[in-house]
Amino acid sequence: MHSIQVHDKIFVPYLSQQQIQQRIAEMAQRLNQDLAHERPLFLAILNGAFMFAADLFRQLTIEAEISFIKLVSYKGTRSTGHVITSIGLDEDLYNRTVVILEDIVDTGKTLHEFLPQIHHQHPRKLLITALLSKPDAREFPVTIDYLGFSVPNRFLLGYGLDYDGLGRNLPEIYQLKE
């Protein structure tokens, strides 16, 4: 891995493709064990979680369903402070085990605003699975049940994470060079 430029910013390597895939395999193994006797609905939050969701879902051996919802809160390298639902939830969650798949939890605002919508549908169990978490950026309490990596409060790019639309396709994760 080497430094890359996206738009006007330089990003340096942070997590390799191998590190990411190894951790996802470990997370899938835990989910397979913990949810062996359930038929969960995995709910991936677009756009960022699409790669994580696909790689994780391929490694599940349990019976499971997947759906997607689009929540938007970022513009450029900063959160807008507003969460917008642009693709809604169509599935009935009543008495279901629901596993939210998130690429990254930083301030926690997105989940803080979205989770009441999920709770309103009375799932039996609600779990949060995130590839990345920035605990130093947290402004709203969020309990992450399955976590890939705890990361510093730096802007990250790649593996589904973008900078103004670019960089999502990178198989590695980079951080903004200071």
Report how far residue 40's alpha carbon sits from residue 52's, in angstroms, rounded to the nearest whole number: 17
Asked if 87 and 114 touch (Cβ cutoff 8 Å), the reply is: no
What is the secondary structure of 71-100 as a DSSP string? Answer: EEEEETTEEEEEEEEEE---S--TT-EEEE
Quote the tokens at residue 162.
Answer: 């973008």
Which residues lie across from 177 on neighbouring strands? none
Q: Is 92 a catalytic residue?
A: no
Which residues lie across from 146 on neighbouring strands? 129
Point out the catalytic residue in the list 103, 106, 145, 164: 106
Backbone angles phi, psi at 30, to 5 degrees: -65, -45
Active-site residues, by number, are 106
